[in-house]
Structure 1
């Protein structure tokens, strides 16, 4: 049997072991009525070559886990992906990932398999999650032939839902960090940004419980209701 199995067309080439690992990835768990503090979340941040979701590539993945109402520092994920011919750009000044570091990075298929094994069946949290979701989904399809089905919750959407008194409506992570008085020692690094997002999410979940929103099902209902109200305006 050949070491590699080729997909038809322009799909990726994966070893038999990688194919088996891909096929054994866990499906996302359905939402239920368990309290938020009993849920496991994976908080994700990506560093990319730019902001074009059709053309740019994922350079680094950083993630932390919220489990049982706290950040589990024993469960963290950090990986730089190898991208051939990567060159410094304006984005390098923001994320600080040098081309030499990318050249030494992990093969994207292997990195993405490891990350999805880390995720398991958990929902994902991110700040401005639509970007991370699109970039991750494209990378998974490109390098693994895998369709992302996990749910994403956007902390940038949850924050104004739970803090209607705040004047922040479409602010960035820095604005909400300042609103809650969080101490941030590092930013614009995938792992550091994932950690800050997780700290913010925990404070928001505390507010959610006080407002009677204490399950993923109820949180999704409230977010959907807010989207409908905004569309009607």
Structure 2
């Protein structure tokens, strides 16, 4: 009885109710429509039984209404393993202007975008990959806000009820409960605390792979031997944006 009530009031259950109640605009692409029509897993579903799509966006800045998306990297976690065969990366050519400040950080230059994909094409491919998956990023507020801004501008859709996990939030939760201080939450800084190798930052695919590896390490640190029995509901409470 308690478990049933707990699941009923769980944020994932409430998110699924939002998804069911969502009025999908007729203008939505088939790819986005399929994503929004796919049920979310129940909170008591084991993490190891779920598939994940790990994302990273490189952008010209942090404001999705003023800045542009430059590149997308993604990779899947399936059967509790990172599937390198699914690694994908693309540049975007959508008439955006690269800012000098962002070029210093991510080293993406205008000529690199000349043969890039159109934003709509790249997003529809991403929606296909996201369907039936838990979506993950490090500092997911960036990926989430740019994706939300896209569907709002393109389709007038004000909500995108999918499950996001954020490895930055997971780490913040861990550090808070260990009463640590003076800690950094940048991807490579967190990876270093786990003894993971340092990769070149600010490449969308490299950062997606780095995030996937970090998540696997975090899961073991939090749940130990119980990791195989850990549910998406338990992890979601530590990793929501």
TM-score in terms of structure 1 length = 0.79
1:131 Cα deviation (Å)? 1.8
- Tell whether 2:86 aligns with 1:72: no
Q: Secondary structure at the match of 1:59?
A: strand
Q: Which residue of 1 aligns with 2:13?
A: none
Gaps of 5+ in 2: 1-26
Summarize the Cα distance change of 1:38–1:87 in structure 2 as closer, same or farther, 3 Å threshold.
Answer: same
Q: Secondary structure at the match of 1:62?
A: strand
Residues in 1 aligned to 2:219 and 2:212: alpha-carbon distance in whole angstroms: 10
**Aligned counterpart for 1:19 among listed residues 29, 34, 57:** 29
Q: Which residue of 2 aligns with 1:204?
A: 218
Summarize the Cα distance change of 1:178–1:221 in structure 2 as closer, same or farther, 3 Å threshold.
Answer: closer
Deviations 1:85-110 (A, max 9, x none): 52342101211111122232111111
Structure 2 counterparts to residues 40-189 of structure 1, below 5 A: 40-143=51-154, 147-163=159-175, 164-165=177-178, 166-167=180-181, 169=183, 171-189=185-203
Select the structure that is richer in helix: 2
**Aligned counterpart for 1:195 among listed residues 209, 213, 219:** 209
Q: Which residue of 2 aligns with 1:4?
A: none
Query: Are the counterparts in 1 of residues 31 and 125 from structure 2 also a CA contact under 8 Å?
Result: no
1:205 Cα deviation (Å)? 1.1
Count of aligned residue pairs for this structure pair: 209
1:170 Cα deviation (Å)? 5.2
Query: Are the counterparts in 1 of residues 64 and 145 from structure 2 also a CA contact under 8 Å?
Result: yes
Summarize the Cα distance change of 1:28–1:148 in structure 2 as closer, same or farther, 3 Å threshold.
Answer: farther
Query: Are the counterparts in 2 of residues 38 and 68 from structure 1 also a CA contact under 8 Å?
Result: yes
Query: Are the counterparts in 2 of residues 28 and 150 from structure 1 also a CA contact under 8 Å?
Result: no
Gaps of 5+ in 1: 1-13, 228-233
1:168 Cα deviation (Å)? 5.6
Residues in 1 aligned to 2:70 and 2:85: alpha-carbon distance in whole angstroms: 23
| Greater displacement, 121-130 / 80-89 | 80-89
Residues in 2 aligned to 1:156 and 1:204: alpha-carbon distance in whole angstroms: 10
1:114 Cα deviation (Å)? 0.4
- Over the aligned positions, Cα root-mean-square deviation in angstroms equals 2.5
Residues in 2 aligned to 1:185 and 1:83: alpha-carbon distance in whole angstroms: 28
1:39 Cα deviation (Å)? 1.7
Residues in 2 aligned to 1:204 and 1:90: alpha-carbon distance in whole angstroms: 32
